[in-house]
Amino acid sequence: MFSEVQHIHLIGIGGIGMSALAKLFLLQGKQVTGSDLHIGEITRDLVARGAVIQKGHAVSNLPSQAEFVIHSPAVPDTNPEYQLAKELGLPVLSYAEALGELSKHYSTIVVTGTHGKSTTTAMIGLILEAAGYDPTVILGSFVPSFAHGNLRVGSGRFLVIEGCEHQANMLHLHPEMIVLTSIEADHLDFYRTLENIRIAFQTFVDRLSGMGLVIVNADDPVSQTLHIANPVRYGSDVQAHYHQRARTVAQGLQSVEIHRLVPKEALGTLSLQVPGAFNVSNALAAIAAAMELGIPFETCVRALGSFPGIWRRFERVGEVQGAPIISDYGHHPTAVRVTLQAARELFPNRRIILCFQPHQHARTEALFEDFVTALSEADALVLSEIYRVDGRTEQETISSQHLVDAISLKRPDLTVRFAPDFEEAQKGIMGLLDSQSVVIIQGAGTIDELARQMVR
């Protein structure tokens, strides 16, 4: 679809996925224009690569020579550039639809699920690269060793991408292999119930083409309820096709023994620089996918052993007064909980200060009690106001102050502070800080700006 097109316009070009597509088109020699409400490091990088980008959205931003329009999922139907493109009869696709068109031309590996998509996608991409498969990889984060960060362009037959479950966007993709990490209640403004989420993933699994495989997490109870023909299971269950044992954490590294069920054998030891039991699960998913493609275990170990992690996934961005500052994208109660657990393993005997920016009012309200429980596990807590998400259901019936009040009732001994803005959040953190602390600045909104600002 894109091969004959020479000029593509991207509405919401500064998004992490949209910017990866923009880079891909620029590398193919296409003319790329775009617009975004926010001009930042990502958009400035695209301009340096040759894109022409306007701040804000207006009819005048859509060039007369544009042949194709792609829009971010955050762009509403009322967007003036979107409306003009429709009036002109231009082909218009969402980001997920564009990714779906791209996936038709590769042997596509889709990593999907509630948690771990970006990290697992990066891990699979790095293993395929180490094995000489020269994959193309698109993901929602930056990989340090990828020349283009959130994009790796290869000449091989494999495309590795994330399948986002928001609004069932993964159903636009055409996979030959699916890696399913977990299924939990999220995006309930769209799905309403966990059962509807499960049905959407069942529909996606049923779309698998050819002799494709589903790599599925044996430790995730909802994933186990899906009807999958010949699944490849991974996890801590000794009956899983790929399973782990004897996990240890020491001196900033974690190690685990990896076993295979058929043929039954101990494959060896995997050591990881990235922390947390959740990253062992991500790595095991990547190993299962790679070995089912015929890649030796030793290649997997080599690629993953040197993996330093990715942008905003337990990313250590610097120190303030001797306290490590960690930026993390997690925005679901489970992500909060496992991130805190990883921090306690990596920094034993240190006080964990969590600064959290809830992402989307609807999510915060739907998962309120789970957030209260998870956030209460920090040693000290600063809650920034909820991040409003453009293009989503955002009835502002709830505030972070409600979380503060509920947490204070649940744990009267816990220091909890409300911060209406980042200036107050930084003051709150600095008032709690000492050299024996670790600061986690977490959320899927703009809270990463605070982490970078503090270390600067």
List of residues 6+ apart from 101 with CB closer than 8 A: 1, 2, 93
d(CA 118, CA 180): 12
Model confidence band, residue 354 (pLDDT cutoffs 50, 70, 90): very high
Instruction: Indicate the CATH number of 106-305 among 3.40.1190.10, 1.10.357.10, 1.20.210.10, 3.40.50.300.
Output: 3.40.1190.10
**Distance (Å, rounded) from C-alpha 220 to C-alpha 229?**
17
Res 355 pLDDT > 80 = yes
What residues pair up with 417 in beta bridges, in sequence order?
A: 382
Contact between 21 and 138 under an 8 Å Cβ cutoff? The reply is yes
Q: What is the length of the chain?
A: 456
Given a cut of 80, is residue 326 above it in pLDDT?
Answer: yes
Q: How crowded is the C-beta side of 327, counted as CA atoms within 13 Å?
A: 20
Distance CA 91, CA 74 (A): 18
- Tokens 């042997």: give the residue: 107
pLDDT bracket for residue 389 (50, 70, 90):
confident
Question: Mean pLDDT score of the chain, rounded to an integer?
Answer: 96
CA 390 vs CA 61, 75, 236, 291, 394: distances in Å: 19, 7, 39, 40, 8
Q: How is residue 173 written in tokens?
A: 């993709």
Whole-model pTM: value is: 0.95
Measured from the Cβ of residue 134, the count of other Cβ atoms closer than 10 Å reads 14
Which residues lie closer than 8 Å to 348 by C-beta, 6 or more apart?
none
7-93: CATH class: alpha beta
Which pLDDT score is estimated for 208?
87
Taking the C-alpha atoms of residue 22 and residue 17, their distance in angstroms, rounded to an integer, is 9
* Contact indicator for 73, 16 with CB cutoff of 8 Å: no
Instruction: Write phi, then psi, for 139 (nearest 5 degrees).
Output: -145, 165
Beta-carbon contacts of residue 89 (< 8 Å; ≥ 6 apart) = none
Span 192-231, pLDDT tens digits: 999 999 999 999 999 886 679 999 999 999 999 999 989 9
Q: Which residues contact 64 (CB under 8 A, 6 or more apart)?
A: none
The CA–CA distances, whole Å, from 69 to 32, 37, 171 equal 10, 17, 20
Contacts of 241 (CB under 8 A, 6+ apart): 232, 233, 234, 260, 261, 262, 288
Bridge partner residues of 152 (DSSP): 137
Radius of gyration of the chain from Cα atoms?
Answer: 22
Alpha carbon distance 67, 262 (integer Å): 51
Backbone angles phi, psi at 320, to 5 degrees: -130, 120
* CB-CB neighbours of 177 under 10 Å: 24
CB 367 within 8 A of CB 331: no
Q: Residue 436 burial by CB count (10 A; 0-12/13-18/19+): exposed, middle or buried?
A: exposed
List CB contacts of 162: < 8 A, sequence separation 6 or more: 17, 110, 111, 112, 117, 118, 121, 138, 139, 140
What contacts 329, CB < 8 A, 6 or more positions away?
118, 141, 312, 313, 335, 442, 443, 444, 448
pLDDT above 90: residue 307: yes
Domain locations in the chain? Answer: 7-93, 106-305, 315-455
Look up residue 297 and give its two tokens. Answer: 């275990």
b/e per residue, 107-133, with b = 16+ CB within 10 A?
Answer: bbbbbbbbbbbbbbbbbbbbbbbbbeb
Res. 3 pLDDT band, cuts 50 70 90:
confident
> What pLDDT, on the 0 to 100 scale, is given for residue 210?
65
**66-91: per-residue pLDDT in tens?**
999 999 998 999 999 999 999 999 99
Whether 393 shows a pLDDT value over 80: the answer reads no
Averaged pLDDT, 369-394:
90
CATH of domain 315-455: 3.90.190.20
**pLDDT above 70 for 424:** yes
**Over residues 53-64, mean pLDDT:** 97
Q: How far apart are the first and last CA of the chain?
A: 44
CA separation for the pair 240, 250 (Å, rounded): 26
